[in-house]
Amino acid sequence: MGRGIANLGFAVMTGGGPGIMEAASRGAFEGGGKAVGCNIRLPREQQPNPWMDTYFNCRFFFVRKVLMFKYSYGFVIMPGGIGTLDEFYEAFTLIQTQKIPDFPIVLMGKTYWEPVSDMLTVMLSEHMISPEDLQYILITDDTGEALKHLEKFAALKYRAKRKKIYRKFIFLGE
């Protein structure tokens, strides 16, 4: 997935740790792209993986989310814990309320994300969200399908904007 994202012309931003995050960073590196780590300091410290071009350490989870949302044009979310769910719902809420642009969200792992899919279906049937809210969300097991979704809703739409220079915020640790 990291290599595919790099091939679309985007950097990969992860939590910067081992496992899935390391695989994405390595894929970006091997694909000639950039990898950025945005770690959160936790009681069980994780070591940064060696495949990142830039690495940030955040004391607070909300700061990490601001950094991720500020510099992202799409989200690929792998199976994870409570923090991962928090990041998904925060991204979805910010898109739904138009606080950030309408970025694509890819949830990798149909079986893992099935309860979330069921919850979104109930929300839709209860008119708590609209069909338009779901147009940018894809739940899949297929990397190719995920990359096509990112290309359709991010690469083609935002490519010209991705070189934009953002003013750094010292209080966010940038």
Q: What is the DSSP letter of 163?
A: T
Query: 70-127 pLDDT, tens per residue?
Result: 888 899 999 999 989 999 999 999 999 999 888 899 999 999 999 999 999 999 999 9
Query: 36-72 pLDDT, tens per residue?
Result: 999 888 887 677 889 999 988 888 989 999 988 988 8
This prediction has a pTM of: 0.85
Query: 125-174 pLDDT, tens per residue?
Result: 999 999 999 999 999 999 999 999 998 888 666 653 333 334 455 555 55
Which CATH fold topology does 1-71 show?
Answer: Rossmann fold (3.40.50)
109 within 8 A of 84, measured Cβ to Cβ: no
Q: Where are the domains of the chain?
A: 1-71, 74-158
Task: Using only the alpha carbons of the chain, give its radius of gyration.
Answer: 16
Output the DSSP codes for 92-153: HHHHHTTSS----EEEE-HHHHHHHHHHHHHHHHTTSS-HHHHTTEEEES-HHHHHHHHIII
Q: Cα 2–30–59 angle (5° rounding)?
A: 55
Give me the architecture of the 74-158 domain, per CATH.
3-Layer(aba) Sandwich (3.40)
CA separation, residue 59 to residues 42, 63, 75, 108 (Å): 8, 8, 22, 27
Tokens of 73: 């044009």
